[in-house]
A = this chain, B = another copy of it.
């Protein structure tokens, strides 16, 4: 091709600029243009909650390079020879003539741009509940620089006392922390029975408890049905159950939907998950148009089913692939997602990769899961707690999911598991994983490997597990279970469930088997602090003929309900 290729990128947040920059690095001679509806470019939008919360104060850090240069049109022009039209909207695509029709919102002028390859990166739009009062002042999302500025000002002004966050997902929970750190009394309202739906309920409940312990309130199984106001200002939200919660601020964080308006108008195929349909090369139904970022749908690598995966890291990776393919044709594939995610909430983190047990079962997998409590480092190095749930596919033996919450190094646990899932490693492979070990970083047997050991033991029938939720049900129903705590008397004094349990320390168990139920078929549920001793106790009891012995997974540390002490 003699002349240089013309590439237009629609969208300037994450995927778009990445695609444009990648294309530039691959071809110095291409003509590359970004059309961005908003004012700002290449925003670190995942950083908004930390700016709002005061973790840092210089908002320009959200839109600057690591060297401190603001990523404005001037920067793109000088450093990357990329022409940027910001505050400019692509309102139509003339696919036949390969033109994009644009409106400059600064002066309302309309103009056309010619392309050889087009990249659509129009992102996502926040869901907004269509409720009475939704236009009252004081209702916002946290999706844009302007939102971040608005909420940061509220923080700095210190006038607002009460706020609600609608939605207990990643953004909602991060926003909860940000506003709580700003001294605002927060209530999170989630319509599902739990927050952080990527977690199974027993782990989500632990996060909920932690948020409450930090003085923010969480309401589940409820929803806002009306915004109430005075003089155009929000004064309260009304919930489904009739309660009115006074508040001066409501942040809506009930998810995002792919912004496919332009693609639809241009007649591009929209997929089953309502994102722009793309093939593995991120090519749309028009061979000259690629798409990347939140506006597309991509396959779940475990199920093959197309999903929205509106994560900032994937937007960048997709942009890199789309940028190259738009230049050279279909040279690189983007395989898909395993929905890896993480968020920090006060002193805890919560993350997940692959599928939760609930999701896996719903998708028809025959799975085995286990919940484990453990430290990330030795106690003498001030190790912190991790509660992990690991899920394997029984048919293949492969790891297909890991969730982890707690004060410890959750990020590493999730990252390790994500790579293991991508590498199709089985639990049998992972029980002997050669990981970096030294006491400042991890236990001799890293929590991840220990989890795989426990799951392997469970799969091999060495113990039967029972979740804290199931135990709690039994307690509530007063089922005739023999609860056995095998910790030391001192530990029992300091902390205990108080569910009618018997204390027999592990070290004394073999001599005190006579204190166990006479009926060898009676249900015995055994636990300790983290249920390592609980497991050892179960092995002993089973060996002595009791047939219905279960280990309460994760022990007391993973117990999310009321306890006596």
Residue ranges of A at the interface with B (Cβ–Cβ < 8 Å)? 14, 24-26, 28-29, 44, 46-47, 50-51, 55-56, 58, 61-62, 66-67, 69, 75, 78-81, 170, 174, 301, 311-317, 320-321, 333-344, 349, 351, 353, 375, 378-381, 409, 411-412, 414-416, 418-420, 422-425, 429, 431-442, 444-446, 449, 453, 462, 487-488, 491, 506-508, 510, 528-530, 532-533, 535-536, 539-540, 542-544
Q: How far is the CB of A422 from chain B (nearest CB, A)?
A: 6
- Are A438 and B491 neighbours in the complex by a CB distance under 8 Å? no
CB<8 Å pairs between A and B, sample of 8 = A75-B507, A81-B510, A315-B444, A316-B444, A340-B437, A349-B441, A415-B415, A420-B423
Q: How long is the Cα–Cα vector from A263 to B44 in the complex, in angstroms? A: 60
Q: Which of B62, B375, B423 contacts A424 (CB 8 A)?
A: B423
Query: Within the assembled complex, what's the spacing in Å between the Cα atoms of A358 and B364?
Result: 48
Q: Which residue of B lies closest to A336 (CB)?
A: B434
Given contacts A335-B429, A351-B436, 16 further A-B contacts (CB under 8 A): A28-B539, A28-B540, A28-B542, A47-B380, A50-B439, A66-B529, A335-B432, A342-B438, A349-B440, A415-B435, A416-B416, A419-B420, A419-B425, A419-B435, A423-B424, A423-B429
> Chain copies in the assembly?
2
Say yes or no: A453 contacts B488, CB within 8 Å. no
Q: Is the CB of B44 within 8 A of A437?
A: no
Bound-complex Cα distance A415 to B442 (A): 11
In the complex, the answer to whether A25 meets B536 with C-beta atoms within 8 Å is yes
CA–CA, A429 and B334, complex, Å: 9
* A410-B428 Cα distance, complex, nearest whole Å: 26
**Contacts A313-B446, A317-B431 known; A342 to B425 CB distance under 8 Å?**
no
Known: A439-B50, A462-B26. A453 touches B423 (CB 8 A): no
Contact of A434 among B375, B422, B453 (CB under 8 A): B422
Which among A431, A441, A530, A543 has the highest number of chain B CB atoms within 10 Å? A441
